[in-house]
Structure 1
Amino acid sequence: MMQNIAMDDGVEIAVEQSGNPEGPALVLVHALAVDHTVWDLVAAPMRASRRIVAIDIAGHGMSGVRASTTETPQTLDRLADDVEQVVAALGITRADFAGVSIGGMIGQVLGVRNPAWLRSLTLVCTVSDVPDEAQAMWDARIAAVRDQGMDGQVDATLERWFTPAFRDLAPSALDQVAAIIRTTPPEGFIAAAHAIKGLAMGAKLPGVKVPTLVASGAQDVGSPPEAGRAIAAAIPGARFELLDPCGHMGPIEAADPLWKLMDAHLTKLA
């Protein structure tokens, strides 16, 4: 069931709820330029026992676009505010959170905030900091999308996100992801990219107090395993797992091992 929830700034955030409404809540947040459906393969085997709350971040999927400029950029804190307001609007008092890529960055912000509703984190294929030397790359991607739209991002994104073997074996999956990328509003991509540019969580991660699972793709060039290991090392008691083979889109390319890791992680907390 899809529904729109208005945020305090008027932007409407789209949420899909599925699964067992009486089960423990699991909040899912996707990567840049896609939508909540990238979690479908992971969510499917968990729906019998869990209440799945899959969010489209601002400017993605069915959610409204939040204005963002270089002078007044959207931030990860604002995107974390959206998650918290969705949780509150749905009357959820306790929930686990899983995010991939920018979703994992939002998860880190939530973990440092440590709200009362947050029971655990799963951070997938993500990093904790964007170094100064990467700022120019993000500026170039923002400029390209502003000038050319999203079509020009598709081929390079699929090449970065998936291993060559998976691209050969699962062309239909890549077609589905490509279609989502193409329909992502350029303004939504740009706003989320502005938020990513401001990522600086590494020094704050020791403040995360909830049980945390970190999973990285062995072949992920954008969020390499060493970045995941660093996140796990910084969070007290966190566990690191390597998804191999897997590029950047763990919930698709490594859906089966990932959902099993998540299920074991969450079951231990029951």
Structure 2
Amino acid sequence: MTTSLPEWFVEALNTEPEERQVLVDGCHVAYRAWGDGDGPPVVLVHGGGANASWWDHIAPALAADRRVIAVDLSGHGDSGRRDAYDLRLWADEVLAASDDANLVSPVAVGHSLGGLVALDMATRDVVPALTIVVDSAITDAARREWLWMRRITAKPVVHYTDRNQLLERFTPTPPDAANRPYIVEHIAARSITLATEGWRWKLDPGIFARPVSDALDLARVQGRVVVLQAERGTARTPFSKAELEILGPDATVAVVPDSGHHVMVDQPEALIDLVRQHVSAYDAARF
């Protein structure tokens, strides 16, 4: 158990978010909201198997002068479950939560699966003018590498009588030596729930069963795209020239040093700074 926490982390977690939900296609979608400034609003989208709490230590810093929300996609966190999941429906949920929170043209920031959801949002008629993708499997090579995640679907839901035993089993997938224990501990505590049969993970294993053909059409993505790759994540599968051309001439690709796939767990300060920089640049370019 972590005994000494960084001051910035404690301050972030002491910033209580608003807990809200919206009904989307018959399913309750939960989201959290911080801040109320007039800067460009931001919507944060977590990765597959994660939840909005992965942004708890990131969102308050971004919300100093703007409205920020973090959404629990269906099948994740405190949102409801569905019989089947796909990118477009998850994007519908994020757009609905953004509308419910009165966000006008929000900047979309998505991690891993959430980055694909954010890019799907950018294919719509009303799209984010800026999409920031954090270590998402966009390239063909990265997609092939991440198909192993689908093996999770074969694992049955296990219940535990001992809460701490379940917490101790929590490890970000894939694990990385740079994972900060105090962030992992916070996320773990927000990722479990007490059911009738005992303690279990909040996520629905069915989220990993979406069809492989449920691919994103990058050619339809509009607006400016910023891709932040983790050094030990998708940076190992660099973009081809053709893939960069599809993202558009204004696309930016940068690598976050000394980070595994879960950048907000490994290098949270760097992620906050990078998102701030790109949102500020986008805001300045609007005028």
Same-fold call, TM > 0.5? Answer: yes
Whether 1:193 and 2:208 are equivalent positions in the alignment is yes
C-alpha contact 1:214 1:228 (8 A) present in aligned 2 = no
RCO higher in 1 or 2 (8 Å CA, sep ≥ 6)?
1
CA distance in structure 2 between the aligned counterparts of 1:132 and 1:38, rounded to whole angstroms: 25
CA distance in structure 2 between the aligned counterparts of 1:84 and 1:256, rounded to whole angstroms: 27
Superposition map of 1:150-189 within 5 A: 157-158=171-172, 160-161=174-175, 163-164=176-177, 166-167=178-179, 170-183=180-193, 188-189=203-204
Encode CA deviations 1:26-68: one digit per residue, 9 max, x unaligned.
Answer: 0001112221121233222221111101111112222111223
Deviation at 1:139, TM superposition (A): 4.4
Whether 1:33 and 2:45 are equivalent positions in the alignment is no
CA distance in structure 1 between the aligned counterparts of 2:146 and 2:167, rounded to whole angstroms: 18
Question: Which residue of structure 1 lines up, in the alignment, with residue 22 of structure 2?
Answer: 5
What RMSD in Å do the two structures reach over aligned CA positions?
A: 2.9
Question: Which residue of structure 2 lines up, in the alignment, with residue 205 of structure 1?
Answer: 218
Whether 1:109 and 2:120 are equivalent positions in the alignment is yes
Gap change, CA 1:116 and 1:99, over 3 Å in 2: same
Deviation at 1:244, TM superposition (A): 1.3
Whether 1:214 and 2:227 are equivalent positions in the alignment is yes
CA distance in structure 2 between the aligned counterparts of 1:228 and 1:21, rounded to whole angstroms: 37
C-alpha contact 2:44 2:70 (8 A) present in aligned 1 = yes
* Structure with a larger share of its residues in helix: 1
Superposition map of 1:1-270 within 5 A: 1-7=18-24, 9-68=25-84, 74-113=85-124, 115-128=125-138, 137-144=148-155, 146=156, 148=158, 157-158=171-172, 160-161=174-175, 163-164=176-177, 166-167=178-179, 170-183=180-193, 188-195=203-210, 197-201=212-216, 204-220=217-233, 224-227=234-237, 229-230=239-240, 232=244, 234-236=246-248, 237-270=250-283
CA distance in structure 1 between the aligned counterparts of 2:91 and 2:244, rounded to whole angstroms: 20
Structure 1 unmatched runs, 5+: 69-73
TM-score using structure 2 length: 0.76
Structure 2 unmatched runs, 5+: 1-17, 194-198
Question: Which residue of structure 2 lines up, in the alignment, with residue 71 of structure 1?
Answer: none
Encode CA deviations 1:172-223: one digit per residue, 9 max, x unaligned.
Answer: 322233334444976843232123744422xx22332211110111112xxx
**2:259 aligned counterpart, secondary structure:** coil
TM-score using structure 1 length: 0.81
CA distance in structure 1 between the aligned counterparts of 2:200 and 2:37, rounded to whole angstroms: 32
Question: Which residue of structure 1 lines up, in the alignment, with residue 3 of structure 2?
Answer: none
C-alpha contact 1:59 1:188 (8 A) present in aligned 2 = yes
**1:216 aligned counterpart, secondary structure:** strand
C-alpha contact 1:28 1:55 (8 A) present in aligned 2 = yes
Higher Cα radius of gyration: 2
Residue-pair matches, total: 252
Q: Which amino acid aligns with 2:232?
A: Q
**2:123 aligned counterpart, secondary structure:** helix
CA distance in structure 1 between the aligned counterparts of 2:69 and 2:54, rounded to whole angstroms: 13
